Amino acid sequence: MALTNEQIEKVAKLARLSLSPDETEEFRQQLSTILGYIEKMQALDVEGISPTAHAVEVDSTPLREDVVAPSLSPEEALANAPARSGNFFLVPRIIE
Amino acid sequence: MSVIESSLAELSRRLAAKELSAVEVTQASLDRIRATDTKLNAFLHVDEAGALAQARASDDRRAAGGSLGALDGVPLGLKDNFLTKGIPTTCGSKILEGFVPPFDSTHVTRLSEAGAVLLGKLNMDEFAMGSSNETSAFGPCKNPWDPSRTPGGSSGGAAAAVAARQCFGSLGTDTGGSIRQPAAFSGVTGLKPTYGRCSRYGVIAFASSLDQVGPFGRTAEDCAILLQAIAGKDPRDSTSLDAPVPDWVGGMAGATIAGMRLGVPREYFVEGLDPEVEKAVREAMALLEAQGAELIPIDLPHTEYGIATYYVIGPAEASSNLSRFDGVRYGMSKREEGGLREMYFRTRAQGFGSEVKRRIMIGTFALSSGYYDAYYIRAQKVRTLIKRDFDEAFRKVDAIVTPTTPGVAFELGARVADPLQMYLADVFTLACNLAGLPGMSLPCGFTSAGLPIGMQILGKPLDEASLFRIGAAYQAATDWHSRSPEVG
C-alpha cells in the first residue's frame, strides 16, 4: 500500500505529532511497507465472524458501591505538573 | 558458591533458616549491580538506600520471630513501567524523564506487603515498544551472554538482570512477547500469565487488551513464587479476573507430567526457524516425552496472520493510550512559544522516540475514518479466528510446546533500520496475547556460539499450573537454567 505525504501529514495531525520533512518521508516509506504486509489480512474471509475486543470475557462497565475512599491529595496530584495555578494544572492559552 | 548464584527459592529457604541476612544478600546484589551494570545497562535507577532499609526491616521481622513469607528479604527488580511512589519511573522514554509517581502499582504494593526488597527500575524499550531494548531513550541494555547482542525486548533489563545475577527475580510486562522473548534470549525463565490473572493498575499502558504483568526467575519455581504474590483480583482494575489463585508452588512439589498431552503446532516448525533452535526444542520435547508426556501434532491454521493482526490492534490501542502524554499534567512539556496546540505537537514530537511515533502513526491510521473497518475491525475479527484455533487445539491437548523465537539473540543494531524485520521476530509469541493465554519460556539449550535457546509452553486460560508442572519436571531433568554467564 503506497501512502502519500499528504496522508502521513493528516495522520500525524490527528495524532498531535509534528514531523520534520525527513520524518514524513521516512514514515511514508515505512508505513507503506508495514501496511503492505498487514494487507495479507484482507485475503481472509471474515464474513459472519464477530470481532474480539478482549480475549477474556470481561464486564466492561462493572458497578461498585459509591463509597468515599482515600485518594491522592491535590498536592500529590499536582506534584509533577509542569505549571500550576492554585489547585489547577496551568496550560498555555487556548484561544488565540 | 556465592550467594548471588542461588535461585530465589533456595535463597528464600536460607533466609528462613537464618543462614543469611536480608541486608547481607541485598548488599551482595547491590555490589553485583555496581560491578556489572556499566557493561550491561540493565538498571535505569538503583534505590540503594530504600533497598537496604527494606532489608533491615525484613531482618528485624525475622529477629522478632516473624516473616511475611517466601519473598521476605528477597531482592527483586522491576521493569521501569511499574509506578513506584517516590522513585523515578520513565517507561524508557524522554517524555517521562524526571517523573516521580505519587502512588505505587498494585504489584509494588503486593510485593512490599510480602516483604520483598525492591532494588530499582529496569531498562526497557520505550513504552515497551520494541523487541531488542534498543528503543530505550537511555541506551540499550546488553545481553549478559554476549554484550554485543540484544537481551531481547521489551523487558530486556528485567531478563538481563536475572541472567547476570543482579537480582533474584523481576517483574516485566508482556504485550506480544515482551517477557518470553527476552527470557529466551537471556537464558532465564519467564511467564506471561493469563490475561486478567494480574492487575494492570499502576502499570503504564501500552495495549490494554494485550498487556499482562509477569515474572522472570531462574527457574519455573521462582516464577511461581513471584506470581503467587502478585496474582488475583484487584478492585482497581476491572479486567483483573475474580478467579481463585491456586497454590502453584505447593502443586509443583514432585510434579509429574506423565499422561499429559502436549500439542506440537506444525505452523511453528517452518522455514526461517534457526536449525540450532529447532534441534534444541525437539530434544527438549523428546525429553518431555520420555517423562511420560504424549506429543500430539496440531494445527493452528491462522498463525500466519498473527503479526498482521497484532500490528493493527497493538498500535491502535497504543495510539489511544499514549494520548495522555500531552505536556499538561506530568512529564516533558514544551511550551516556549505558541498556545496549547503548539505545546501538544512540540511535546510529543520531542518526547517520543521514532518507534513510539511509528506505532502511534500506524494505530491512528488504522482507527481513522475510512480505514477503521478495513483495518481495526477486520483485525479484531481475525483475532477471533486465531483464538478459535487455540480453543480447538485445547480440546485435544493440555498444553502446546513451541520454540519461543525463530532465532537467538541478534547483534545490537542489526534490525533497527528495518522495523518490519524487527516485528517478524515476535512471530511465535504474540498469538498468546491475542488469545489471552498463559505462556512460559524455559531455557532449553545453547547454540554452538554459546547463546541461550528458549522453549515456549502455552496453556489453557487460567491453567498456569500446567505450565509450572511442565517447567518443574523439565528443570528437574536439565541444568540449562542453572548456567550463568561470565560478566565483567
Helix H or strand E encompassing A65: none
Collect all residues with Cβ–Cβ distance below 8 Å to B76 and sequence separation of at least 6.
Answer: B111, B116, B117, B118, B119, B167, B168, B169, B170, B171, B226
Q: Give the 3-state secondary structure of chain B.
A: CCHHHCCHHHHHHHHHCCCCCHHHHHHHHHHHHHHHHHHHCCEEEECHHHHHHHHHHHHHHHHCCCCCCCCCCCEEEEECCECECCECCCCCCHHHCCCCCCCCCHHHHHHHHCCCEEEEEECCCHHHCCCCCCCCCCCCCCECCECCECCCCCCHHHHHHHHCCCCCCEEEEECCCCCHHHHHHHCCEEEECCCCCECCCCECCCCCCCCEEEEEECCHHHHHHHHHHHECCCCCCCCCCCCCCCCHHHHHCCCCCCCCEEEEEHHHCCCCCCHHHHHHHHHHHHHHHHCCCEEEEECCCCHHHHHHHHHHHHHHHHHHHHHHCCCCCCCCCCCCCCCHHHHHHHHHHHHCCHHHHHHHHHHHHHHCCCCHHHHHHHHHHHHHHHHHHHHHHCCCCCEEEEECCCCCCCECCCCCCCHHHHHHCCCCCHHHHHHCCCEEEEEEEECCCCCEEEEEEEECCCCHHHHHHHHHHHHHHCCHHHCCCCCC
Distances (CA, A) of B74 to B61, B67, B368: 13, 12, 48
ipTM score for this prediction = 0.95
How many Cβ atoms are within 10 Å of B128's Cβ, its own excluded?
Answer: 30
CA B269/CA B271 separation, integer angstroms: 7
What local confidence, expressed as pLDDT, does residue B363 receive? 98
Give the number of A-B residue pairs with CB atoms closer than 8 Å: 169
**Catalytic residue among B6, B178, B186, B466, which?**
B178
CA B384, B393, B476, B286 torsion: positive or negative? Answer: negative
**Catalytic residue among B131, B136, B154, B240, which?**
B154
Distances (CA, A) of B124 to B96, B129, B377: 13, 9, 30
B142 is catalytic: no
Chain B neighbours among A 34-63 (CB < 8 Å)? 34-35, 37-42, 44, 46, 49-56, 58-60, 62
What local confidence, expressed as pLDDT, does residue B372 receive? 96
Contacts of A18 in chain B (CB under 8 A): 345-346, 348-349
Query: Shortest CB distance from A41 goes to which of B209, B241, B378?
Result: B378
What local confidence, expressed as pLDDT, does residue B424 receive? 84
Query: CB distance B100–A79 less than 8 Å?
Result: yes
The answer to whether B386 touches B435, Cβ cutoff 8 Å, is yes
**pLDDT 10s digit of each residue in chain B, 488 long?**
689 999 999 999 999 999 999 999 999 999 999 999 999 999 999 999 999 999 999 999 999 999 999 999 999 999 999 999 999 999 999 999 999 999 999 999 999 999 999 999 999 999 999 999 999 999 999 999 999 999 999 999 999 999 999 999 999 999 999 999 999 999 999 999 999 999 999 999 999 999 999 999 999 999 999 999 999 999 999 899 999 999 999 999 888 999 999 999 999 998 889 999 999 999 999 999 999 999 999 999 999 999 999 999 999 999 999 999 999 999 999 998 899 999 999 999 999 999 999 999 999 999 999 999 999 999 999 999 999 999 999 999 999 999 999 999 999 999 988 888 888 888 999 999 999 999 999 999 999 999 999 999 999 999 999 999 999 999 999 999 999 999 96
Query: Shortest CB distance from B239 goes to which of A16, A58, A81?
Result: A58
- Summarize pLDDT for A24-76 with one digit per residue, the tens: 999 999 999 999 999 999 999 999 999 999 888 766 667 888 999 899 999 99
CB of B365 within 8 Å of any CB in chain A? Answer: yes
Chain A neighbours among B 119-158 (CB < 8 Å)? none
